[in-house]
Chains A and B, each alone.
Chain A
Amino acid sequence: MSGEAILVVGSGPSGVHFAATLLEKGYRVRMLDVGNARPEPIEPELSLDGLKRELPDPRGFFLGDDWEALVLNDSAGEYYGFPPGKQYVFTPAEPLGIRTQGFEPLFSHAAGGLAEAWTGGSYPFDDRDLADWMIDCDALAPYYGRVAERIGISGAVDDDLAQHFPVHAGIQPALELDRHSALLLERYAGVRDRWQRANARLGRSRVATLSQPLHGRQACHRSGRCQWGCPTDAFYTPSVTLRECRENERFEYLPDHYVTHLALTGSGAAAAAVARRQDGSEVRFEANRVVLAAGTLPSARIVLESIARSGDPAPELVGLMDNRQVLMPFVNLRLLGRPFDSESYQYHQLALGFDPGGARDYVHGLITTLTTALVHPVVQALPFSMRTSLGMFRNIHAALALLNLNFADDRRPENRVGLEPVGDGSHRMVIAYQPASDEAARMKRSLKSLRRLLLSLGCVAPPPMTRARPMGASVHYAGTFPMCEEGGDYTTDRDGRLRAFGNVWLADGSSFPSLPAKNLTFTLMANATRIAEEAF
């Protein structure tokens, strides 16, 4: 089934799994991408402490040559200094202009997309999550399984939390627990009735990290370097699948191609993708079928720019969604004054589901046991002098953990993506977002209950340290071209085909009609696989 190549824009989780599926079906695929490459891991055999001791310039590695991971007291409050080794994911900044209100979006030009900096949470949506969708859990399940078999997902299928996550193929045994997570789970066993009465459950995370070797990749060997870039690919990122695709002779990967718009025919179909290169030249790629998988916001920009360049006024897209994230640090009193183990898996090993009952109320939480994160952003957040804070931190380091809560979102008309002219004939993207009017109240209710539940595990979450991240920070963007049975030009059908153009498919989060609290990345991969399988 070779013939004409299908044009895919973007190499993020949607793009690579769409491409991989088409390749499996025998298609030829041409992928256009900016494609900043991940740096080669250094000294893969060294542990995190080993890097500190052995590297000639550990400061440069951990804080960055330009000190970009240094979080000073007068910069925005985050608990993580972003690792310099992952800066390539976010630089350079979006070259075309952008103006925002109430939204702080992130963009990536990395080969592998924003998910090069994800934390691996892989949670299938259940029927309740998919209530507004044109597909149900049974329809997606085979694709979750297919993706899991490609990338390797580890986790439990029989604990309390598993009821929120449909079981699919390809799940490896859960990773070995670090001491803190093991203690939390042990304590939970004693209070699980209380948790269940509050409609809350704690269990193992499902993560895209290998507990067993897969397709030539090693299992996790707990070097403690997760945040700094897994040196062995035990932790999955989309660049792994991109690499596999590139081994296929029917796959043509064209980096240094930033797609600005689609050239449209007189009847409004896409005739070609037009890409800009670093040297300023513009290249046109003719195609009968174009698949946009550049990510929700870049794909929206491409569609809007295509319309604007065709001479019609670009519409304003409504319904942009993102998960509100709240970071709730807590201290496990049983681990006060204990040493910590830096050689352990660093991302979340436990997750919690809190379900107060409303349609959009399910809250999804990830518990990270913060052992090898940079210390200085956390120490300065303690409300004491630096010396006292450091002294306290040394004794609570092993006891510290972070609950990262994700709240669901839905499409609302006030959340918009548009274009505006900037004078020289070009446009910039304009994004406006307002939280739902009941968001604050919903969050407050949930946070109060969750603090109590943490307390039942012997953990204290000081309220002043809980922080809501700005909208846009979770990078779970979706909803600009929602899938629906019948809709206007700027909606898609069940297979992600954009009604306005007819021969353009949106394989990323653009077509999600709602955004559950669970991290969307695994569903991006599964849905892209489904579209490739069913529509091509």
Chain B
Amino acid sequence: MRRGEVWFAAQGSSLSQAGSIVSLHAMSLQPMGGNRGLGGRLFITGASGYVGRQVVATASAAALPMALLVRAPASLPPELRAAVDQGGVEIISGELCDAAPWQARVQPGDVVLHLAAATGKATAREHTRINVEGTRSLAQAAAAGGAAHFVLVSSIATRFPDQTHYPYAHAKSEAERCVREGPLPFTIVRPTLVVGPNAPVLQGFALLAGLPITPVFGDGQRRIQPIDVNDLAAALVALCAEPPAGETLELGGPERVTIDAWMHRIRGARGAGTARLLHLPLVPIRSLLAFLEPLLLPVLPLTAGQLATFANDGVAEPSAFMNSRAGTLHPLDISLTPPVAERLPPTPFDAPLLGDECRALCQHLIGAPPSDAMLAGYLEHHRRFPVGPFTRFENELIAFARRSAFASALADAYSVRFLPNGLLRRKLVLLLALLETDPELFPSVDAPDAGGGAIALMRLMGRGATEVGLTALAVLWLGPRHLLSGRGGDE
């Protein structure tokens, strides 16, 4: 499914030329009048984050002058680097909570857009330090510098009735209070769940939705209203150009769905069928996580607080502002469609290395070495169609498989579960295609084992058991390396 195409279909457009999402949104911003409402620059914190990067891209497309407060200017994400290279963007190096070194860089008339926040698995103390103290420090610096408008990006979680074990929500509520009681005219924005290409929150949900049985914490009937990162960025930039609202605006997407429906939609957007949901009791799991967090926070897959999404309705209060943008919002299914994965550059053609690889993989596949014709075909295909892996770990996996037939077996078992579209499996498929067309070896992909009937069934079961054992071993052996090199293959 191509994003642009479905967008038009969902808009009920006639057969007009499809455009890219980004350009559509740049267009939708134009009526807002470029920097018409901005007296000064956009002073942005958290520009390196998921929403921040999109905000900078949107503001850059509208040619708005910007100042970005960043901790590590030397390691800017490529998108920010591109915006900086275009000009009109000042990079200010500094820590949010230590305003003294950069305070003087705030200019009169600046609109401060405060996106920086501690999220996810930060400790309660970190949440307080960054989200509360950082906001207070920024607000004071902004006031001292003569900023005209302070826009705080908060969270819909601040009004969850059930915030059990959720320091992020507490901290964000406190940050809102700092801004409300602070010296500057303000607008507070509470986005709902933010989705879009490579959205961090979506990766977590996609992992759950991709399982054969999808665990859903609680009854799955809480409602959410996810907003596309492009829409959120466009709305934030538009709000910065407006006079301070002096109030709190909640920003949500075009659809409200239950958690259960959300899981089905995520699977659907990835081409899989309806999810099989398993509802798990929320309260004991939250309690267990809260109990484990003090000791195991770094290794836990999620926190007790993050489960608040399953316990509360996360939908936005309607507002005139969002109503005016309704026609420009991305349909949910578009936001959920994963971006086309991009490959890393291929490794240089190395015939001896590929020969070793072909022999190890063939020995693993059929317990015999490849024929000369197969070896030649294997090399020819690699020479003619060099492709790189999606992640660096795949190169490690292939190097591991090359060691021996047994290493190949582990890598094979691992790749079918965790990298089914990856490079190692591609090589195995190629080898299989060469095997089945080999003048000598083709019967090895055709002939059944001796016996037949009940014996065949027992053999099949034996193969299944071996597969389970190999998979377990592969997960233990290769899983940690994979995790260390980038979670789930999405680097």
Contacts and interface: CB of A to CB of B under 8 A. Distances in A.
B420 A73 contact: yes
A336 interface: yes
B470 A70 contact: no
A2 to B, nearest CB: 45
Contacts of A374: 433, 436
B438 A395 contact: no
Given A59-B434, A63-B437, A386-B432, A420 B446 contact: no
A338 B452 contact: yes
B279 interface: no
A210 B433 CA distance: 32
Main secondary structure of the interface of A (DSSP, over half): mixed
A398 B448 contact: yes
Given A73-B426, A375-B432, A394 B446 contact: yes
A337 interface: yes
A388 B463 contact: yes
Given A63-B437, A101-B5, A101-B8, A397 B430 contact: no
A518 B273 CA distance: 27
Contacts of A384: 416, 463-464, 467
A30 interface: no
A395 B416 contact: no
Contacts of B20: none
A74 interface: yes
Interface stretch (B163-171, B236-244, B328-336, B454-462): B454-462
B449 interface: yes
A390 B416 CA distance: 13
Nearest to B411: A385
Given A58-B439, A337-B448, A380-B429, A395 B460 contact: yes
Contacts of A92: none
Contact of A102 (B9, B412, B463): B9
A386 B17 contact: no
Interface in A360-417: 374-376, 379-380, 383-388, 390-398, 416
Given A375-B432, A376-B433, A386-B429, A337 B457 contact: yes
Contacts of B460: 336, 392, 395-396
Nearest to B6: A101
Nearest to B436: A375
A265 interface: no
Contacts of A59: 373, 377, 434, 437-438
A72 interface: yes
Given A394-B448, A418-B15, A432-B15, A388 B467 contact: yes
B349 interface: no
A430 interface: yes
Interface in A328-384: 336-340, 342, 374-376, 379-380, 383-384
B452 A73 contact: no
B15 A416 contact: yes
A219 to B, nearest CB: 27
B421 interface: yes
A387 B447 contact: no
Interface string B364-379: 1110000001000100
Contacts of A393: 445
Contact of A67 (B381, B416, B447): B381
Nearest to B462: A391
Contacts of B446: 340, 342, 375, 394, 397
A447 to B, nearest CB: 11
A339 B449 CA distance: 9
A62 interface: yes
Contacts of A72: 426, 429-430
A373 to B, nearest CB: 10
Contact of B451 (A49, A101, A337): A337
Nearest to A420: B15
A286 interface: no
A55 B438 CA distance: 10
A102 B432 CA distance: 33
B466 interface: yes
Nearest to B455: A337
B17 A339 contact: no
Contacts of B451: 337
A336 B432 contact: no
Nearest to A396: B460
Contacts of B422: 73
B428 A386 contact: yes
A316 interface: yes
A62 B436 CA distance: 9
B190 interface: no
B9 to A, nearest CB: 6
B433 A387 contact: no
A337 B364 contact: no
A277 interface: no
Nearest to A52: B442
Interface in B374-399: 377, 381, 384-385
A463 B447 CA distance: 26
A316 B457 contact: no
B414 to A, nearest CB: 8
Contacts of B15: 99, 101, 316, 416, 418, 420, 430, 432
Contacts of A395: 448-449, 456, 459-460
A395 B463 CA distance: 11
A53 interface: yes
Contacts of B432: 375-376, 379-380, 386, 390
Nearest to A316: B15
B382 to A, nearest CB: 11
B455 to A, nearest CB: 7
Interface in B308-356: none
B106 interface: no
B429 A73 contact: yes
Contacts of A426: none
B405 to A, nearest CB: 9
Contact of A434 (B9, B425, B449): B9
Given A101-B9, A394-B447, A434-B9, A74 B436 contact: no
A331 to B, nearest CB: 10
B188 to A, nearest CB: 40
Contacts of B364: 387
B92 interface: no
B409 interface: yes
Contacts of A52: 437-439, 442
Interface string B48-68: 000000000000000000000
Interface string A463-484: 1100000000000000000000
Given A392-B463, A393-B445, A394-B447, A380 B377 contact: no
25 contacts: A59-B373, A59-B438, A63-B437, A70-B433, A101-B9, A101-B15, A336-B456, A337-B457, A338-B453, A375-B445, A376-B429, A376-B432, A376-B433, A380-B428, A384-B463, A384-B467, A385-B416, A387-B412, A390-B366, A390-B445, A391-B463, A393-B445, A394-B449, A395-B459, A395-B460
A-B residue pairs, 4 tightest by C-beta: A337-B456, A337-B452, A385-B412, A386-B428
